[in-house]
Amino acid sequence: MGTDARTPAELDELEARIDRWLADQLAENPMVAAVEPDVAGSRRWFVRVLGEQKDVFTIRFHLRQRTLAYETYLMPAPIENHGELYEHLLRRNIGSYGVHLAIGEEDAVYLVGQLPNQLVSTDDELDRVLGSLYEATERWFRPAMRIGYASKFT
């Protein structure tokens, strides 16, 4: 599976496909509360998702020349039990598919991933990305917060 750079015309087609898919998600998926494109021409979107363990979170999609990158903020930097939290998060990475945990700006924890642009041609793959991010956020948010903010839960 190659990751050849796409031409501007091919990227325009992929952007239109993602726009249509996101419009369908907003209309049909009760978990999708809002879809906002970023600055015109940026090929980025912000998708607000309603969860249960984490009430609301935003997924950022960014269509680049070779890949569609995606990420969501899982939690702020821990205030305690750093080693235990990072061990817990690294163990979660083992069983994940299409998404992994990362430390980002200000030591916050993110779920991130990317896929080659040729896979963006199917709604099924886009559905899988959205579902993977939703499932991982729902499964990992509360346990991670209980470790990194243990004194707040006692």
Q: How is the chain split into domains, by residue range? A: 8-153
Give the angle 19-20-25 at the CA atoms, nearest 5°: 95
pTM of the model: 0.92
**CA dist., res. 12 & res. 77, Å (int):** 37
| 30 vs 63: CA distance, rounded Å | 24
pLDDT at 2 over 80: no
What does the mean pLDDT of the chain come to?
A: 94
Q: DSSP 3-state assignment of 40?
A: coil
Indicate if the pLDDT at residue 9 is higher than 50. Answer: yes
pLDDT at residue 95, as a whole number: 81
Mean pLDDT, range 40-61, rounded to an integer:
96
pLDDT at residue 41, rounded to an integer: 81
Can you tell me the mean pLDDT for 16-40?
A: 96
* 54-108 tens-digit pLDDT: 999 999 999 999 999 999 999 999 999 999 999 999 999 888 888 999 999 899 9
Q: Quick: pLDDT tens for 119-132.
A: 988 899 999 999 99
pLDDT cut 70: percent of the chain above it: 98
CB 59 within 8 A of CB 71: yes
Spatial separation of the C-alpha atoms in residues 42 and 52, rounded to whole Å: 31
pLDDT of residue 1: 47
DSSP string computed for 70-104: EEEEEEPPPSS-HHHHHHHHHHHHHT-SS-EEEE-
In the chain, what percentage of residues exceed pLDDT 90?
83
User: How many residues in total does the chain contain?
Assistant: 154
**Topology of 8-153 in CATH?**
Yope Regulator; Chain: A, (3.30.1460)
Q: Three-class SS string for 1-37?
A: CCCCCCCHHHHHHHHHHHHHHHHHHHHHCCCEEEEEE
In angstroms, the CA 66 to CA 68 distance is 7
